[in-house]
Amino acid sequence: MKPINVSIIGYGMSGQYFHLPPLLLNGDYHVKSVMTNNPDNIRLLSSNHPDLTIIQTFEQAVNDQDVDLIIIATPNDVHASYTTRALEAGKHVVVEKPFVETYQEASDLFALARKHQRVLRVFHNRQYDGDILTVHDVVKSGKLGTIVAFHARFDTFQPHVSHNWRDHEGVMPGVFYDLAPHLLDHALRLFGLPESLYARSFIDRPGGTVDDHFEMMLYDHDGLLVTLGAHKLDRHPRPRFELIGTEATYVKHGFDHPDVLHEASQDTHHPLSDRSQIIFGSHPFQTEQVPLRLGSHYLFFERLADDIRHPKADDPDKTYALQVVKLMELAQSSMKTKKEIIVNM
Strands 213-219 and 225-231, bridge-based pairing: antiparallel
**Other CB atoms closer than 10 Å to residue 1's CB: what's the count?**
7
- The lowest-confidence range among 52-61, 128-137, 151-160, 283-292 is 283-292
Gap between the Cα atoms of 66 and 62, Å rounded = 10
Interval 146-152 mean pLDDT: 97
Gap between the Cα atoms of 130 and 40, Å rounded = 33
Interval 83-98 mean pLDDT: 99
* The pLDDT of residue 296: 85
For residue 145, pLDDT over 90 is answered with yes
Gap between the Cα atoms of 345 and 335, Å rounded = 20
Gap between the Cα atoms of 30 and 107, Å rounded = 30
Gap between the Cα atoms of 300 and 14, Å rounded = 14
What are residue 244's DSSP bridge partners?
149, 249
pTM recorded for the entire structure: 0.94
Among 78, 57, 76, CA closest to 7: 57
Query: Would you tell me the crossing angle of helices 316-337 and 174-191 to the nearest 10 degrees?
Result: 130
Tens of pLDDT, residue by residue over 101-110, are 999 999 999 9
Q: Which domains does the chain have, with CATH numbers?
A: 4-123 (3.40.50.720), 126-298+327-342 (3.30.360.10)
Gap between the Cα atoms of 344 and 269, Å rounded = 39
* The pLDDT of residue 256: 73
For residue 67, pLDDT over 70 is answered with yes
* The pLDDT of residue 294: 85
Interval 161-174 mean pLDDT: 94
* The pLDDT of residue 255: 80
For residue 272, pLDDT over 80 is answered with no
Interval 299-307 mean pLDDT: 96
Tens of pLDDT, residue by residue over 221-236, are 789 999 999 999 999 9
CA distances from 222 to 109, 146, 198, 244, 250 (A): 33, 11, 17, 15, 20
Gap between the Cα atoms of 153 and 240, Å rounded = 5
* The pLDDT of residue 73: 98
For residue 209, pLDDT over 90 is answered with yes
Mean pLDDT of all residues belonging to the chain: 94
Contacts of 103 (CB under 8 A, 6+ apart): 322, 325, 326, 329
Q: Report the alpha-carbon angle 176-250-242, nearest 5.
A: 15
Gap between the Cα atoms of 100 and 122, Å rounded = 10
For residue 263, pLDDT over 60 is answered with no
Strands 276-281 and 285-289, bridge-based pairing: antiparallel
For residue 264, pLDDT over 60 is answered with no
Gap between the Cα atoms of 25 and 149, Å rounded = 39
